[in-house]
Amino acid sequence: MTEQAKKDFEKTIKILDLSEAEVKLKKQSLDKFISNGFPSRKLEDWKFSDINQIIQKNIGDLSFHNDYSLSNKIDTSVFVDGLEHNKIVFINGRIEKVDLSYEDENNVELNETLSSKNEIKNSNSLIDLNSAFTNKIYKILIKKDYHFKKPLIIYHTTNNKVKSRNINIRLEFKLEQNSSLRLIDYLNYNSEKNFINIFYDFDLKKYSILKNYKIDNNHNKNIGYLFNNIIQDENSISENFILSCGSSFLKNEINCDLRGNYSSAFINGIFSLTDNQQHEIRTSINHLTENTKSYQLIKSVLGKESKAVYQGKIFVNSEAQKTDGYQLSKAILLDETSEFNAKPELEIYADDVKCSHGSASGSLDENSIFYLMSRGLNYQQSKELLINGFVLDVIEKITDPEIKNLIKNMIGLKE
Amino acid sequence: MDTRQKDIENLKDYKYGFSTDIENIKAPKGLNEDVIKFISNIKKEPEWMLDFRLNAFKRFKQLKEPNWQKPKYPKIDYQDLYYYSAPKSMKDKPKSLDELDPKLLETYKKLGIPLQEQARLNGIAVDAVFDSVSVATTFKDELTKQGIIFCSMSEAIQKHPNLVKKYLGTVIPTTDHFFATLNSAVFTDGSFVYIPEGVKCPMELSTYFRINASETGQFERTLIIADKGSYVSYLEGCTAPMRDENQLHAANVELIALDDAEIKYSTVQNWYPGDENGKGGIYNFVTKRGLCKGKNSKISWTQVETGSAITWKYPSCILKGDNSIGEFYSIAITNNYQKADTGTKMIHLGKNTKSKIISKGISAGHSDMTYRGLVDINSKAKNSSNYTQCDSLLMGNKCGAHTIPYIKNKNFDSNIAHEATTSKISEEQLHYCQQRGLSPEEAVGLIVNGFCKEVLQQLPMEFAVEAQKLVGISLEGSVG
């Protein structure tokens, strides 16, 4: 892997028009990645899903170089129907289309840069990998008092030209005071056996609102890693929703620093897995100042030979009095071969806080099934009804009615 | 109220902080094969025991000291410790209490256990451990009548080699983690209990541990075997003299419950926690593990942890037999600069196994409390269930309370429920109590005792009173 990475790095550098300092920065990231390698179960954060092994098993040898000079044809059939929206389309890691036609040009800026510094504390080697090999970093700035009129959907797609490839994407969002953004990440891969590594950085200023919905709904044989790094100022709100059911392996990681008073973070997630899928959500909410709030709800429905992992951490600094932190994970195991692992963690250094977590896992309640069957439903129908009700609980947490309906339609839940 | 206040006054300065002046036989400083042979030799052990130790030592040399725990401590130089020390007068074992060194007897009196009287009055057989060698075991006759074996480990190795050979190291193998393996190599003494088939032990068995000689790592080894259909309740209490250097304590406790047997193991741990500035205190790195080997067996751990500079232990249950039950009740209190990283492991292997974890952590001052637990339900453990509740109470904003549970469910028939909360004593609660005439400290004592009630209830009578007092004393000076 080391040789391949070094070789591909040379190729990547050659194509890009980089200054010496930028090359140096990228080289540093590469060296860090090479010395640490892909994370393995020896690391606490990767204890339950060893990505090193998963890549070895599912892909084998990865190549890191991507040629971004050729454009790809956009398959318009992947676009979401029934919702007016702005679009950014990525194909094989290359940005193919930017359509912000619903928005006011003067209030939204989209810039490209070639490299950016890493300032995340708990970074891992995948972020170094991302920094070393990303083509361009896209920076989106939403100006003061501007509210996005329509949601922005970022399509992450691939076509059959790539295989056994590592694709790195990096986007940075800055929401100025009193602005808002509704962002949907829609994963739709038409290739297989690739490792897609997406890194988002959000900077939320005072009174800004971010709503981020990640949808991985189409079955595909790729490995994905999504990292959201969110920094929140006073009175800002972030809402994250994760629908995790398409890829063979997917890990969503959210690191959220609540730095301003009265800021709050919400994370809701659904796992719906079967057939050898293995997904994970890891969150880390850092309450760094007074009167901050966080809420997490993760529900899993696990079928044959699937495995879901939830690692949630609430950290409360000694200055963060009056913190309100809540975490709940529930799982239904449908098959003998399914597995659910959880590590809900609290690390608290302040005394006037309200923090709690709960975790429960088990099979469907036979009594409830019996009740429904006695009302005339068959076994399959009763099972579905119960599972839908279980999952709907999370979807109801979505605060945007348009997007709530969109997601309900996607997973076939009726009103 | 007055007597309670007085109790607190008396106990405020560490009551058991004195050391007895007895010449010690010490093994040479350091850890090597010769020292292990020396220990084995002085204890007149058979060859298989020496092999057991040497095997463990071989393994130990390959192991690295773990460092994933939350409380960090200065590096221990394992070559700078004495691995064996025994009171000199113990060379020839005394036949009765009268033959004991008068100084030893006096120490016990200061500790509040006059061996003869208290044992009789309380109906407890006391196997007092002074440093590393058992001094005397009382009430042997009554126990012998029932066929119960309750003696020191060294005696058991001499007199019941078949039992020891069969069970020692089956729950904590010599190839276990760093501290457990160290213990297997150099353990000096401890308690051995065997309850024969169908016997309900008529009294609570109890050992008082006491660390004495300076710079002596304590390596106790306890083995309790409950044969088919038997029951035993075992109490463990610890006190130690006040010292400045840190003392390492790495004991191993193994419990084995066969078909339909039940073991109840209670600990009140009140070792020297270091002074108000965090200087000194004992490192308590104990490995405790119980194996529910037979069907319908039950192991229950209850612990009240108030002492030690650093507590790092996870009393665990391996639920191997079908329908077996594991329980863990814990109160951990940390004050000043104390650190605790404690919890449990429940490993479900058999069908219909059940486990319950209730953990209460209280931290005050500059201390740090971590609950770390594992619930692992294997794919073969059909119809198993676990319930976990861990609550933390914080006093002040210089302390920390952490919860790190690991939950693994590989069986769709099984249920796991986990709950954790963190809170503080509310102003309303304090105000209410003070309005009714309690002082702030009494109010805190009352509220904390209420918070811990679920666990305190699990303790045997003898311990419950002591434990309640301890809870009050441990939190002295933390209000305000």
| Residue to substitute from B403, B426, B478, interface A, most A β-carbons within 10 A | B403
Chain B residues within 8 Å of chain A (Cβ atoms): 68, 379, 392, 394-424
Average pLDDT over residues B84-96: 50
Q: How far apart are the first and last CA of chain B?
A: 21
Cα B11 to chain center, whole Å? 21
Q: What is the largest CA-CA distance in chain B?
A: 68
Q: Is the pLDDT of residue B113 over 50?
A: no
Q: What ipTM was predicted for this assembly?
A: 0.82
To the nearest whole Å, the CA of B460 is away from the closest chain A CA by 31
Which one of A337, A350, A360 has the shortest CB-CB distance to B416?
A: A360
Kindly report, residue by residue over A75-128, the tens digit of the pLDDT.
888 888 888 889 899 888 888 888 888 888 888 888 887 766 666 665 688 888
Kindly report, residue by residue over A17-56, the tens digit of the pLDDT.
777 777 888 888 888 888 888 888 888 888 888 888 888 8
Kindly report, residue by residue over B51-64, the tens digit of the pLDDT.
888 888 888 888 88
The Cα B480–Cα A365 span in angstroms is 49
pTM of the entire structure?
0.82
To the nearest whole Å, the CA of A339 is away from the closest chain B CA by 4
| Domain map (residue ranges) of chain A | 2-378, 379-415
Are A341 and B413 a contacting pair at CB < 8 A? no
Residue A278's nearest CA partner among A222, A329, A212 is A222
Q: Which residue has the higher pLDDT, B220 or A141?
A: A141
Place of tokens 């929703």: A241
The Cα B230–Cα B257 span in angstroms is 9
The Cα B127–Cα A290 span in angstroms is 53
The Cα A210–Cα B184 span in angstroms is 57
Decide if A389 touches B, using CB distance below 8 A. no
Angle between helices A20-36 and A125-133 (to 10 degrees): 150
Average pLDDT over residues B366-392: 90
Are A345 and B404 a contacting pair at CB < 8 A? yes
Q: Is the pLDDT of residue B259 over 60?
A: yes
Are B397 and A318 a contacting pair at CB < 8 A? yes
Pull the structure tokens for residue A413.
């839940």
Provide the residue type at A376 as one letter.
Answer: G
B96 contact partners, CB below 8 Å, separation of at least 6: B136
Q: What is the β-pairing status of strands B354-363 and B325-334? A: parallel
Place of tokens 């297989």: A192
Task: Say if CB A338 and CB B399 are below 8 A apart.
Answer: no
What are the strands, taking DSSP E only, across B124-204?
Answer: 125-130, 133-137, 149-152, 191-195
Q: Which residue has the higher pLDDT, B321 or A2?
A: B321
Average pLDDT of chain B is 77
Least confident residue range of A1-10, A296-305, B158-167, B361-370:
A1-10
Contacts of B419 in chain A (CB under 8 A): 356-358
Decide if A98 touches B, using CB distance below 8 A. no
Are B399 and A44 a contacting pair at CB < 8 A? no
Are A357 and B394 a contacting pair at CB < 8 A? no
Are B395 and A360 a contacting pair at CB < 8 A? no
Contacts of B401 in chain A (CB under 8 A): 346, 348
Are A339 and B420 a contacting pair at CB < 8 A? no
Are A350 and B413 a contacting pair at CB < 8 A? no
The Cα A200–Cα A228 span in angstroms is 5
A362: nearest CA partner in chain B: B415
To the nearest whole Å, the CA of B87 is away from the closest chain A CA by 45
Distance set, CA B69 to CA B60, B304, B311 (Å): 19, 20, 11
Are B418 and A331 a contacting pair at CB < 8 A? no
Kindly report, residue by residue over B271-294, the tens digit of the pLDDT.
777 777 777 778 888 899 999 999
Q: Which residues, listed in sequence order, are joined to residue A260 by a DSSP beta bridge?
A: none
Task: Name the 3-class secondary structure at B71.
Answer: coil
B414: nearest CA partner in chain A: A362
CB-count burial class (<10 Å; 0-12, 13-18, 19+) for A309: buried
A302: nearest CA partner in chain B: B412
Average pLDDT over residues A179-201: 89
Kindly report, residue by residue over A318-327, the tens digit of the pLDDT.
888 889 999 9
Kindly report, residue by residue over B405-433, the tens digit of the pLDDT.
999 888 888 888 888 888 888 888 889 99
Are B397 and A350 a contacting pair at CB < 8 A? yes
Q: Is the pLDDT of residue B47 over 90?
A: no
Place of tokens 């594992």: B374
Percentage of chain A modeled with pLDDT above 70: 97
Task: Say if CB B346 and CB B383 are below 8 A apart.
Answer: no
To the nearest whole Å, the CA of A42 is away from the closest chain B CA by 11
Percentage of chain B modeled with pLDDT above 90: 18
Average pLDDT over residues A401-406: 89
Are A335 and B413 a contacting pair at CB < 8 A? no
Q: CA A161, A167, A170: angle at the middle one, nearest 5?
A: 135
CB-count burial class (<10 Å; 0-12, 13-18, 19+) for B61: exposed
To the nearest whole Å, the CA of B326 is away from the closest chain A CA by 19
Decide if A339 touches B, using CB distance below 8 A. yes
> Could you count the other beta carbons within 10 Å of the beta carbon of residue B164?
22
